[in-house]
Structure 1
Amino acid sequence: MKFLKLKIFGKPHVLMFFGLMLSYSGSSVIEGAIPTLVAVGMLSPIWIPLYTTFSRAINASAYVVARLIGHYSPYRVLLICEVYDMVITVLVILLLYEGSLSTLVVLMTYFILASFIPVITNIANGTYAGAISLKSESTAVTFNAFSLSLLTLATLVIGRPLGSLLVNYSIYLVLIVNLVMTAASFFFRWAAMKRDTMFPTGRNQYALNNNVSRLNLVEGIRYFGGQIFRLSASSPITTPLVYLSMGLFFYYLPLWLAEGSDRKGEIVAMAGVFGGLGSMIGPLLFFALKERCRYRRHVTIAILVVAIDEIMLIGMVWRYGNALSIPVLCAYMALILLLYLAASYCNVANLTARQKRYAGKRYPDMVGIAFSMASLAMLVGTWSGYMLDASSHPMVALILGAVIALLVTAGLWLKTTGKTDT
C-alpha cells in the first residue's frame, strides 16, 4: 500500500504501534461482549468472577512465560499469537454455524483459549519496547507514552463498547470484527518486521548481545527475589502496589454511586468514561514532563496524588454519601479522572525507569515479573474489596487503599537510591 511508503509509516516502531492498537481493539471487542452475554442469559453471572480469576492466574505465570519466549524475536512471538487468534476465531465461527455443539460450550471454550494470548503478547510487546530503549531512550519513552495512552482509547473507548453493542445483534459480528482487526494487526507487525534491523535472525539480538549475562531459572529467582521488594522507581512492585491500593474499591465505587441514582447504567458508564480519559491523559502528561526531574520523583509524586485523591474520596463519601446532586456527581467524576490519570502516569514512569535499569538479557524476565506482580496485586485487591463489601460500604476499602498509597509514597520519598534508579 502506498501510504506505507511514507517516511513516518515506514518506521518499524510506528507500524508496531498500529499493530498493537488493532490487536488490543480486537481483544477488547471480545471482552466487551462478555457482560452483555451474561445480561441476556447466554452466560451465567458466575462466569465473570471465575473468568477474571482464571485470566489473572494465567497472567501471574508471566515470569515463567518470559523465561520461555524472552530470547526470541518479539516479532515472531507476536505474529504467531495473531495467527493463533485468527485460527481459533475461525474455528469458533464454523462451530457456531454448524450448530452440533452447544453455543455455551463453544463460547466458554473460546474465551478460555483466548485468555492465554494477553500474557504472551504483553511480554513480547514489553521486550520490543526494551529493545527500543537500548537503541534510543527518547524513542522508547515516546513509544511507551503514546502506546499506553492510545491503548486506553482502543480498549475502553472503542473496543469494549463496540463489543457490547455488536453482541446485541449477533455474536458472529463480534467474532468477525475481532478476526478483521487481528488480521490487520498481523499485517502491520509483519510490515514492521520486514523494515526492522533489531532482530535480523528471528531472535532477540539486543538481549543476546548485551554484556549483562542472562540468569538461569534458579539464579533468576534469587536475583529478582531481592529486586522485587526493593521499592524504587524501577522496581516491579511499585505500580502493582498502586493497583492493589485502587483495586480495593475502583470496581465497586461506581456500583455504590449508582445505588443512589435512578440512572444506574449511566452512572457506571460515566465512571468508566472518566476513568478511561484519565488513563489516556496520564502517559501523555508524563511525555510532556519527562525532562523535568528524575524518574523517582515522577513516580513518587504520582503515587502521592493517588493517595491524596483517595483521601478526598473518603471525605466525599463521609460528607455526601451517594446522594448525587449534579455538583457532587461532578466532584466524584473529577476525582475518578484524577485517580486514573495519576495511576497511569505512575505506570509509564515506572515502566520507563525499568527499561533503563534492566536493559539487555535480564529485561524479558523483568517484564514477566512485573506483569505477574501486577496481576496478583489486582487479583488480591479485587477479591479483598469484594470481601470488604465495597460495593455497599466503600469507606473501609478506601481507607485501606489510601494507607497503602501513603506508605508507598513515604517509602519512595525516604529511600536513598543509586545512580541507576533515575
Structure 2
Amino acid sequence: MFGGFLVSFTGSMFAESALPALIAVGVLPVAWLTVFRTAGMVLDMGTPFAMRFLARFSPGRLLQACELVDIALCLTALALIAVLDVPLAAVIVAYLLATTILPLVIDVAEELYIAQVSMASEDAAVRYNSAISSSTALLGFVIAQPLGAFIAEQSVVLLLIANTVLSAVALTARTISNRMLPTAPFKQTEAGDPRRKSARRSLWRKASFAFSLGAISPIISGSLALANGIIGGYVVIWAASNASNLLAQTGIGLFCFGIGAVVGPLTARRVIRRVEYSAAMITGASVLLASLVVGLLAAVALPAQSAVTTTLTWLALLGASFARSGAMVLYASARQARLKGETLLGAIGISRSFSAGGTLAGVWLGLALGVADNPCLGLTFAIAVIAAMLVFMVFRRGDTPQLKAAASQG
C-alpha cells in the first residue's frame, strides 16, 4: 500500500504540473491557480460530512476505486485532445476540476487504512506516517515537481500519459496489498460505548468536542495550518526579494522547507519511542515557536538586505518546517492508534476541516498583512497562534486519551 501511495502521488504531481505550465505560457490566467487551491480547501472543510459516507466502504477498496477513476479521467482527457481536437487548456481545466475530490477520498481512506493496520500500536502508525510524510516531501520538492515542469515544457499531453501509467501501476500495487492485507468497512464502536455517544452528540453540535481530546484535539491541526498559511511561501518571497540573487535565494528557501519536511517526520519516529506523546507534541510546538521568534527578531532587528538576516530566516524556516511536519506525524499517529469508532471518525473529519479552514484563512490573512513585503506582522500573528496552541496543550494535557484506554474501545 505504501508503494501504491507513492506511485499515485507522483502521478498526481505530474498532472498538477500542467496547470503552472499553462499559466506560465499565458494560456490560462493566474487566477486559476487560486481557484483550484480554494476548491480543494473548501472540499476538505466538508470532510466531516464525507466521513459518514466513506466510512461505509473498505479503505483498500476506496483506494483502488480512486485509481480507476483517475485512469478513466486521464484516458477521457487524452481522447478529447487526440480524437475530438478539444482545446488543450479546456481539457486540462476540466480534468483538474473533476479530480479535485480524489485527494480528499484518498487521504481519508489512507488514514482509515492506517488506523486498522496500526490497531493498538502507536509505533506502527508513526512508522507508516513518517515514511509517507518524508517520502512525499522528497518526491514533491526533489523529483516530481522539477521533472513535471520539464515534461510540461515538452508536452502537457505527456503528463497525462505519465499519470495514466503511474495510476495503473498504483492500482496494481493497491490491489496486491488489499489481497495480502484486506480491510473491512470501518467498524463502529459498540452501542454502549460512551465515547460513541459523546462524539455523536458533539459533532458540529457542540464545540466542546474540539476541546475534549487534549493534545489530539482538532484545534492542533487548525492552529498549525493557520500559522503555516499566514507565513508559508510569503516569507520565502520576502527574504529572496531582498537578496541580490533572487532565484538562487528562492531555491535555498524552498530547499530548507523541503529538508525540514523530510527530516521532521523521521525524527518524530525516533522521539515517540522515548518520549510520551503529549510531551513530544509540546516539545515540537516549542521548537516551532522558537523558530518563528528567531525569524521575527531577524526581520525586526537586522537590515533586510543583510546576509545574516537571510541566513537566520532560512534557519527559522528550516526549524519551523521540521517542527511542524514532525508534529503533524505525531498528531495523526496518536489519533489513529488511540481513538476508535465514532470518536475517530469525528476527530478525522473535524481535524481536516479545521486544517483546510486554517490554511485558507491563513493564506488570505498573510496576503492581507503583506507578509511578502514585510513579514513582521504576519510572524507576530503566527507566533500568537502557536503560543495559544502551546498553552492549550499544556493545560489540556490530562484530557489526551491514553493508548491503553483507547485500545480497549470498540
Cross-structure match for 2:50: 65
Compute the TM-score of the two structures, normalised by the length of structure 2: 0.91
SS in 1 for 2:237: helix
Match of 1:7 in 2: none
Task: Tell me if structure 1 keeps the 8 A contact 2:60–2:182.
Answer: no
Q: How far did 1:210 drift?
A: 9.8
* Other-structure match for 2:349: 368
Match of 1:10 in 2: none
Residue 99 and residue 266 in structure 1: after superposition, are their counterparts in 2 closer, same or farther (change >3 A)? farther
Counterparts of 1:236 and 1:110 in 2: how far apart (Å)?
Answer: 32
Aligned to 1:121: 106
288-297 or 231-240, which deviates more: 231-240
Q: Secondary structure at the match of 1:323?
A: coil
- Report the alpha carbon displacement of residue 363 of structure 1 after superposing the two structures with TM: 2.1
- The AA in structure 2 aligned to 1:190 is T
**Larger deviation: 286-295 or 335-344?**
286-295
CA–CA distance in 2 between the matches of 1:20 and 1:252?
A: 30
Deviation at 1:260, TM superposition (A): 1.6
The Cα shift of 1:157 comes to 2.2
Deviation (angstroms), 1:99: 5.0
**Contact 2:243–2:305 (Cα < 8 Å) also in 1:** yes
What is the identity, as a one-letter code, of the residue corresponding to 2:62? V
**Is the aligned partner of 1:301 residue 2:286?**
no
**1:72-221 to 2 correspondence within 5 Å?**
72-98=57-83, 100-134=85-119, 136-199=121-184, 203-204=185-186, 206-207=187-188, 212=193, 219=201, 221=203
CA 1:321–1:105 in 2, change beyond 3 Å: closer, same or farther?
farther
CA shift digits 1:160-191 (9 cap, x unpaired): 22221210110011111111211111111100
**In 2 relative to 1, CA 33–102 (structure 1 residues): closer, same or farther, beyond 3 Å?**
closer
Which residue of 383, 402, 407 maps to 2:364? 383
Q: Which residue of 2 aligns with 1:4?
A: none
Give 1:310's aligned amino acid: L
Aligned-partner Cα distance in 2 for 1:342–1:393: 24
Tell me the amino acid that sits aligned with residue 179 of structure 2.
K
SS of match in other structure, 1:80: helix
CA deviation map 1:281-332 (0-9, x unaligned): 111101111122211111111111111111100111123344153x543332
User: 1 CA distance for matches of 2:213 and 2:377?
Assistant: 25
- Per the normalisation by structure 1, the TM-score is 0.89
Structure 1 residues not aligned, in runs of 5+: 1-15
- Alpha carbons 2:213, 2:400 under 8 Å: kept: no
Match of 1:334 in 2: 315
Total equivalences in the alignment: 402
* Partner in structure 1 of residue 375 of structure 2: 394
1:417 matched to which residue of 2? 398
- State the percentage of identical aligned residues: 22
Report the equivalent of 1:282: 264
Which amino acid counterpart does residue 106 of structure 1 have in structure 2?
V
Q: Over residues 243-280 of structure 1, what are the superposed CA-to-partner deviations in whole Å (9 max), with x where a residue is unaligned?
A: 21121112211111221234323322322221111011
Shift of 1:100: 3.4
- Displacement of 1:221 in angstroms is 1.9
Q: Deviations over 1:369-393 (max 9, x none)?
A: 2111111110010010011111112
Q: For each residue in 1:346-383, what CA deviation from the matched residue of structure 2 results, as whole angstroms up to 9, or x when unmatched?
A: 10111122123322344234222211111111001001
Deviation at 1:135? 5.3
* Distance in 1 separating the partners of 2:270 and 2:314: 24
Kept in 2: contact 1:70–1:365 (CA 8 A): no
Structure 2 unmatched runs, 5+: 404-410
Say which structure is richer in helix. Answer: 2
Letter in 2 for 1:32: S
**Residue pair 1:234, 1:357 contacting (<8 A) in 2 also:** no
**1:285 aligned partner, one-letter code:** T
Q: Secondary structure at the match of 2:231?
A: coil
- Opposite residue 274 of structure 1, the aligned amino acid is C
